[in-house]
Amino acid sequence: MNFTLDEKHNLLRARVREFARSSVAPVADKYDRKQEFPMDNFKSMGKLGLTGLCIPEEFGGAGGDHLSFAITAEELAVACASTSDILNAHLALCTEPIYMHGTDDQKKKYLPALAQAEKVGAFGITESEAGSDIASIKSTAIRQGNYYVLNGTKVFITNGDVCDTAIVFANIPVLGKRGMTAFIVETGMPGYTKGRKYDKLGMRAATNCNLVFNECSVPVENRLGEEGQGMSICLSILDYGRIGIAAQGVGIAQAVLDKAVPYAMERRQFGIPIGNNQGISHKLADIFTQLEAARLLTYKAAWLADRNEPFSLYAAMAKLTATELAMKASIEGIQIMGGYGYMMDSPMQRYFRDAKLTTIYEGTSEVQRMVISRFLLRP
């Protein structure tokens, strides 16, 4: 077993880290406070090849692998978890699914613009009565000649207010319980509008809104996969997305350490650095140890995906471990920094707010435990 990254991945990490430190980190708080999508940085990610990282060069992508994506998502999250989330929704949940499940015509039509950040991608499955239970979606798609007519509302859609292209799921009623089907929906299609923008606790620069479909006409050629394949497509997409969310958790926990360790060495109480206090040093030791475990789980999930081996279990374990750690680390980070960590001009409060969402979206921690326990308890 080789736990050493090759030169290609080390060079990618260095390149993304430099971009994250020089371009993303300096404006992270500004975009967070304004709840504004960082379009300039999104376009810059396109120039760096990040928005098409896992897409082959023939479709305008960089031809990278999922380990490259995990490394990229991690490094971006150290600087700004919202930016990492934006990339995950765009690449793992919209662009790559078109490559994996789309027709040749769909790939040629949509992938180059998405891969090069000329357009923003999104993913629409969640509804007011269908969160963890995605089978309960109420949106419908009824075929009328060369079109499907979509009706329904998707909620909490990351990139929703700025997206040009979205993968949207709806039920075809005549197929009954097996009717979930995926569609590629473009902004400007008749009957498609964007609803209210959400005021979120964290990940505030990864802006969200509702996607509303009222007699929306979607051409038959925009169906992704066959009728009734929506559930299998959705679950496969979420597996890849969970690698990205796990990497976000790793990045947030790393950001906490990057701030807490120097502070513990510099801040003095009772005549000594607070890091000399066992109550502080052991907190840092636990975060550091658990961070390495979370990173290895995340990289293994990505490595298995790149080898076309089953990786759903490892994606679930990685997301559970990394995101729960991000929440724990951010709480401890605030505690270590005390009053300074609790101030709004400290990045620690942003790590705390961002970390909470990672334990909720793309499958809550409870859902990840369901996935893992089902593997353990299967006949």
Q: Residues with catalytic annotation?
A: 362
* C-alpha pair distances (Å), 294 with each of 86, 98, 288, 348: 21, 29, 10, 20
Q: Which amino acid is at 303?
A: W
Of the candidates 297, 266, 260, which has an alpha carbon nearest to the alpha carbon of residue 282?
A: 260
Cα–Cα distance measured from residue 18 to residue 16, given in angstroms and rounded to the nearest whole number: 5
Cβ distance 223 to 233 under 8 Å?
Answer: no
Strand 180-186, strand 165-171: pairing: antiparallel
HEC string for the chain: CCCCCCHHHHHHHHHHHHHHHHHHHHHHHHHHHHCCCCHHHHHHHHHCCCCCCCCCHHHCCCCCCHHHHHHHHHHHHHHCHHHHHHHHHHHHHHHHHHHHHCCHHHHHHHHHHHHCCCCCEEEECCECCECCCHHHCCCEEEEECCEEEEEEEEEEEECCCCCCEEEEEEECHHHHHHCEEEEEEECCCCCEEEEEECCCCCCCCCCEEEEEEEEEEEEHHHEECCCCCHHHHHHHHHHHHHHHHHHHHHHHHHHHHHHHHHHHHHCEECCEEHHHCHHHHHHHHHHHHHHHHHHHHHHHHHHHHHCCCCCHHHHHHHHHHHHHHHHHHHHHHHHHHCHHHHCCCCHHHHHHHHHHHHCCCCCCHHHHHHHHHHHHHCC
* C-alpha pair distances (Å), 9 with each of 24, 159, 220: 20, 28, 40
